[in-house]
Each structure stands twice: as structure tokens, then as C-alpha cells.
Amino acid sequence: MNNILIHCAMEKEGKKIADSLNLVQKEENKIFNIYEGKEKETKIDLIITGIGKQKTAIGLSTYLCTNARPDIIINIGYAGSTNEEIGRWINISKSYNLEWDIPGEEKYSMKDIGNQELEKIENLKSLPCYSSETFVTSSKIKDNVIFDMELHSICLLGDLYNIPVLSLKKISDNLNMEDYYKNLKRDEVMELESSISYIKNILNKGAIKCI
């Protein structure tokens, strides 16, 4: 793996990761912000697209049209959960579109693209993720699942262009907006730099099964 693209939705999610990986700002415009590494053997870019499936789709599509295709896309960010432990890292196993509820179609799942299995990391809990256009505070889904606002757009593009996708989500809340804002003050919950240990395992080709 010589070309890695990391995706974060928000600047506060991505900047500390970029700093920890010694990435420097390459480009900033209305669509995205990019940080890049200077290593010659392994190219690492980090893209910050903004919150939501639409901004993510536009930003990531633009990047893929103007840069070399990455060997893997790594999505890192916060997510809500029905009942998972706050502050825990989850390796997403499958991505669904929460708003995809079309008569005659399979609920949450597009049959043509966006259905790829995501990359797995050994010894890290895996759960499915449902991407929503809004912050999820309640759900009819009773299983133990994850909710975010970007991943399904990433998986659509990954599936379309045959790019493996890895998603690491830090649980920020249990579908409670008030608790989410309280958790913003908890450093152990809101830090994302600990994901770098998983990224380094990827670089060493020791943690992902499918690559």
C-alpha cells in the first residue's frame, strides 16, 4: 500500500491527526481541505470535506477526479450508538443509508453500489453503521448499531471505483444531543489521535485481512 487517503468530516477531527502524522496543509477551498505527507515511499493525504453525505460525496469525488487513486480510504470520526460504550473505538463492518426507504427497494441498502464489505482490523469490535442526513437522537433500529453522517457516501465511491474502505468510529453519544455536548468536554472521548496506532498497523500490513 503506497497511497493512503484519510477522510475526516470536521477540521477539529482531522487537524490533530494530520499534526500527529506530520502532514502539512496542501490545499484549501470551498469544497475541501487537504493535508499531505512528505514521505516518498508511502503517500498519505488527509481530506476534510465538511459534515454530511452531500459535502462528503462532492469533496471526495472532486479529490478522486484530480488525484491518483488511493489504495485505501480510511474514514475516522465521531459517531453515535444505540448503546455502545462512550469513548470506544468501533471498526465499521457494513454501511447503510438510513434515509433509503423506497417502495419496492431493500430498506437502507442500495442494490447496485455501496454494498461492499468494509476492511476489518483484528481485535477491534465491528458493528454496522447507518448514515443519516441529521443527528440521530432516536431510532426504530433496536440492534447494537452505529450512526454517522458521512460514511455511506464514502462507501458508494469506494464501491464504484473499487477502493477498499476502512472506517474507525469513536463513540461520542448514545443518541442523546445533550450528552453529546457534555462529552465534548471529555478529552478521553473526543480525542482521535489514538486511531494512529491502527493506521500504523495498516502501514505495516499487519492488521487488515482483506489487503
Q: What is the mean pLDDT of each run of 10 residues along the chain (211 residues)?
A: 90 92 89 87 91 96 94 96 94 92 80 79 92 90 93 95 95 90 87 88 53 32
Q: What is the model's pLDDT at position 101?
A: 83
Q: What is the model's pLDDT at position 127?
A: 96
Q: What is the model's pLDDT at position 88?
A: 96
Q: What is the model's pLDDT at position 2?
A: 80
Q: What is the model's pLDDT at position 207?
A: 44
Q: What is the model's pLDDT at position 180?
A: 86
Q: What is the model's pLDDT at position 197?
A: 87
Do the beta carbons of residue 6 and residue 199 sit within 8 Å? Answer: yes
Q: What is the model's pLDDT at position 4?
A: 92
Domains of the chain in sequence order: 3-203 (3.40.50.1580)
How does strand 146-148 pair with strand 24-28? unpaired
Q: What is the model's pLDDT at position 202?
A: 65
Residue at 9: amino acid letter: A
Q: What is the model's pLDDT at position 204?
A: 66
d(CA 81, CA 66): 35
